[in-house]
Structure 1
Amino acid sequence: MVEQLSQEINVSRPIATLLLQRGITDFNSAKKFFRPSLENLHNPFLMKGMDLAVSRIKQAVSQNEKILFYGDYDVDGTTAVATMISFFGKIYEHVDFYIPDRYKEGYGVSFQGIDFAEEKGFSLIVTLDCGIKSAEKVEYAQQKGIDFIICDHHLPGEIIPPAVAVLDPKQPGCQYPYKELSGCGVGFKLAQAFALENNIPETYVYELIDLVAVSIACDIVPVTGENRVLAYYGLQKINKNPRRSIKALFETANLKKEITVSDLVFILGPRINAAGRIDHARKAVELLISENDSDAEQIAKLINEDNLTRKDLDAEITRQALQLIAENEQWQNARSLVLYQED
């Protein structure tokens, strides 16, 4: 098979071996890999629940309901929320977002977040990069008259939440052709579907592709299939026409060269994550959706300071851990160690 692929696409045997390891077995799949095209993105309505999700949002818009986009506090979650706010905020007024506090609420949908939605009059919550294991929270929201649409990419548990719609390529019965989308990628497909259904220009969707590329890089999902297309065009946008927020963050790092995926992972990602670790991830979303140069620069500087604080804390934790090991002779010969200290 290696020899056959090598001859078919005219590459060396080692390259053919690497391609086969990535599921590329013939000329057509190799062409899609080496020459990504937006035309190769799948129809979003192939995803289970997509028609229900689009219908419920359309109903909310027609009835002037308030929609709350609820995301995780990491890079994937904050870029997903920024993607949805940027897209739906252009076509509908009554949208806002909620990011849980990492330390007070923890990961995923929280009762506190649902109480916030009730207090502020939101009747529809759209989760991003979380929610697939939040059946109890969805039931709690239903008692308050709040509907849920779940956009997630994690493996589901035994119980699928009783939401109006669940979008997750990994859920049972979903025939979507590509299973490795990031959480932001699932949100992007929802925006794509809503645009198709409502005759919204596709440029409204594709101008968000840079945020999807950031999520793909920083969430370490496979850069294959749709992810490769999204990452390729997203990286092009970052280099040719970067949004204010991404440009401002790279300026805080004094990075002025062509941006690579590694730069997204090791320079941009830690800064976005630092907002949630040191302060609050809401700040990261506010930066990502900023359309004002001055605001973007100011928030980027604050987030960069968070990252410097995070680095100092990491260094101190490492110093303390090494000191503990140095004080215990038995630990020094251990093949692996897990150290814990309350403070």
Structure 2
Amino acid sequence: MRWKLKPEPNKEKVTQLAKDLSIDKTLAKILVQRNIDTFDKAKQFFRPSLEDLHDPFLMKDMDIAVRRIEEAISNNENILVFGDYDVDGTTAVSLMSSYLKTIHPNIATYIPDRYEEGYGVSYMGIDYAEDNDFSLIIALDCGIKAIDKVTYASEKNIDFIICDHHKPGTEIPKAIAVLNPKQADCNYPYDELCGCGVGFKLIQALASKRNQTIDDLTEYLDLVATAIAADIVPMTGENRTLAYFGLQVINSQPRNGIKAIIHQLQKKELTITDVVFIIAPRINAAGRMKHGNYAVELLTEMDFDSAVEFASSIEKFNSDRKELDKKITQEALLQIKNNEETEKFTSVVFDESWHKGVIGIVASRLIETYYRPTLVFTKSGDKLAASARSVKGFDVYNALEQCSEFIEQFGGHKYAAGLTLLPEQYDNFKNKFEEVVALTIDKQLLIPEITIDTEIDLSEITPKFYRIIQQMAPFGPQNMKPTFSTTSVRDNGYGKQVGVDKSHLKLNIIYGSDRKTYGAIGFGLGNKISSIQNDFDIAYTLDENTWNNHTSIQLSLKDLK
């Protein structure tokens, strides 16, 4: 791994902040690096408040969207809440439909089938709306590129409100209202919301017209926090505030569906990491293995016993998903090796039998072995569908744009995208994608990077130091858990490989003239055992370890050399 030290921030700002907050300079430095460089910014960061959320009417088209929904309610129209089948989409649909049902009876939900309809707004969904007399569709976490579909709907006298956060194309659909803070002409102060976050702004706007306050909406924040965590959006500004309070709801009074998932796990206090690795994959598994409707039913279920039944079906989907992605990953790795493509700048693999629901996970797994932009293709109807994943620092969405002559449709973000193409274009696309990446990628980006906030002495790690680090949570992109480095440490001679397959490293590190020892664990670093014979450098984060009812601060090693 490449170790990259963050640049030194402004010294005066660090000194001033350390003084204002009565904290040491190392902690002040970490905050200034994150653009938290004044007392007021620090107060907002450490003591988030729901009062800090922006006025939803600052978002372009919000007033139009609210007006159209109010009109639908007063005319007793049927409203269809439509969303994607991933975590962001299913939580957004659950959020919007459960709020609207408190003010209007004629609400239904629609999640497209991943296999029959594919991603986003579908013609089948619009036909369903027409057949069942829906005159308004609210699309969440999708729709920003559904130009033809929105036109098709308007020909059937069905209006669209789009709530999306994906990158808009050059043309915007002619919907009644398009809520997407990434639109060039939208002046909303924060443009990193997820799809469920945009949906939350819409219910916040609707609530304000009914004299409801933000306190009346906190019960929905468990859904918003789950979407923020799962969609890997920046953990800054409004996202961090929503995630902070959403986690409190998850840990104190979550909705039945989330409670049922937690109930199965016997886990007390969940962190944002638990949401990413425990709650999100289970919600996702429904859409991957069966149908996204299961996730919406789980998340909107009012009866706890029924929610437990849904959760146990979803648990089964999740274990099937794990087996499947393991099997397909092995087949894909073999394909790269057999085709002698280990030296390329990209990984592009295809098998028509691969399960469409797990190709995104497989793409991420392949990056763990061959660290480079990756696409995994499978057959979808008479076309090929792929999930794209990228490496840190490389915009795969832009790279796909440069290959658009061979693509039927695509959409997504800088680091994750989806696309479809005709089978006869596969080889042309594969060659062009390799060519584009080879020409545009900085070759350094093909070596995994570890970003280090600052170098410290181990003696700086005190209970107070650790307590303040903990208060910087919830962590996520642009507010990652601080990573430190320390040079010239030693093992006390008892360092060993642990775990069933000896893949982890457990050390007791000696440091400084007082030869104090620090417990350390390095998951996946078992193969580095030979590096600990002499002095070595470590990159790590801080965690707590409880053993025999004794809790201590532990170094969680990211790398050593």
Q: Displacement of 1:143 after TM fit?
A: 0.3
1 CA distance for matches of 2:196 and 2:342?
A: 43
Partner of 2:83: 71
Matched AA of 2:172:
I
Partner of 1:268: 279
Q: 2:148 aligns with which of 133, 136, 139?
A: 136
- Correspondence 1:1-343 to 2 at 5 A: 1-8=10-17, 9-200=21-212, 202-252=214-264, 254-324=265-335, 327=338, 330-331=340-341, 337-343=347-353
Matched AA of 1:109:
V
Residues 89-98 or 17-26, more deviating: 17-26
2 CA distance for matches of 1:51 and 1:192?
A: 12
Residues 258 and 163 (structure 1), Cα distance of their counterparts in 2 relative to 1, 3 Å cut: same
Kept after mapping to 2: 8 A contact 1:213/1:234: yes
Matched AA of 1:340:
F
2 CA distance for matches of 1:272 and 1:48?
A: 31
1 CA distance for matches of 2:177 and 2:350?
A: 41
1 CA distance for matches of 2:124 and 2:237?
A: 37
Residues 56 and 6 (structure 1), Cα distance of their counterparts in 2 relative to 1, 3 Å cut: farther
Q: Displacement of 1:129 after TM fit?
A: 0.5
Kept after mapping to 1: 8 A contact 2:163/2:180: yes
Kept after mapping to 1: 8 A contact 2:336/2:347: no
Kept after mapping to 2: 8 A contact 1:2/1:16: no
The 3-state SS of whatever aligns with 2:136 is strand
Matched AA of 1:82:
S
Q: Displacement of 1:151 after TM fit?
A: 0.5
1 CA distance for matches of 2:213 and 2:43?
A: 28
The 3-state SS of whatever aligns with 2:305 is helix
Kept after mapping to 2: 8 A contact 1:3/1:13: no
Name which one, 1 or 2, has greater alpha-carbon Rg.
2
Matched AA of 1:279:
K
The 3-state SS of whatever aligns with 1:228 is helix
The 3-state SS of whatever aligns with 2:185 is coil
1 CA distance for matches of 2:346 and 2:120?
A: 31
Residues 2 and 290 (structure 1), Cα distance of their counterparts in 2 relative to 1, 3 Å cut: farther
Structure 1 length-normalised TM: 0.94
Residue-pair matches, total: 341
Question: For the aligned residues, what is the CA RMSD?
Answer: 1.7
Matched AA of 1:71:
G
Q: Displacement of 1:326 after TM fit?
A: 5.7
Q: Displacement of 1:27 after TM fit?
A: 2.0
Q: Displacement of 1:21 after TM fit?
A: 3.8
Q: Displacement of 1:198 after TM fit?
A: 2.2
Structure 2 length-normalised TM: 0.59
1 CA distance for matches of 2:333 and 2:201?
A: 46
Residues 120-129 or 25-34, more deviating: 25-34
Deviation track 1:115-154 (CA, whole Å, cap 9, x = no partner) reads 1000010000001001111111111110000001110111
Q: Displacement of 1:251 after TM fit?
A: 2.7
2 CA distance for matches of 1:122 and 1:333?
A: 53
Query: Identical aligned pairs, as a percentage?
Result: 55
Q: Displacement of 1:315 after TM fit?
A: 1.3
Deviation track 1:14-36 (CA, whole Å, cap 9, x = no partner) reads 43443344332322222111110
Kept after mapping to 1: 8 A contact 2:91/2:224: yes
Using CA pairs under 8 Å that are at least 6 residues apart, name the structure with larger relative contact order, 1 or 2: 1
Partner of 2:421: none
Q: Displacement of 1:12 after TM fit?
A: 4.2
Kept after mapping to 2: 8 A contact 1:2/1:13: no
Residues 62-71 or 172-181, more deviating: 172-181
Q: Displacement of 1:243 after TM fit?
A: 1.6
Deviation track 1:73-103 (CA, whole Å, cap 9, x = no partner) reads 1100000000011111111100011011111
Instruction: Compare the two structures and name the one with the higher strand fraction.
Output: 2
Kept after mapping to 2: 8 A contact 1:271/1:307: yes
The 3-state SS of whatever aligns with 2:211 is coil
Q: Displacement of 1:160 after TM fit?
A: 1.2
1 CA distance for matches of 2:127 and 2:94?
A: 22
Instruction: Compare the two structures and name the one with the higher helix fraction.
Output: 1
Kept after mapping to 1: 8 A contact 2:13/2:37: no
The 3-state SS of whatever aligns with 1:216 is helix
The 3-state SS of whatever aligns with 2:171 is coil
Matched AA of 2:166:
H
Residues 187-196 or 169-178, more deviating: 169-178
2 CA distance for matches of 1:169 and 1:326?
A: 43
The 3-state SS of whatever aligns with 1:338 is strand
Residues 209-218 or 193-202, more deviating: 193-202
Residues 325 and 124 (structure 1), Cα distance of their counterparts in 2 relative to 1, 3 Å cut: closer
Residues 124 and 334 (structure 1), Cα distance of their counterparts in 2 relative to 1, 3 Å cut: closer
2 CA distance for matches of 1:38 and 1:320?
A: 48
2 CA distance for matches of 1:325 and 1:167?
A: 41
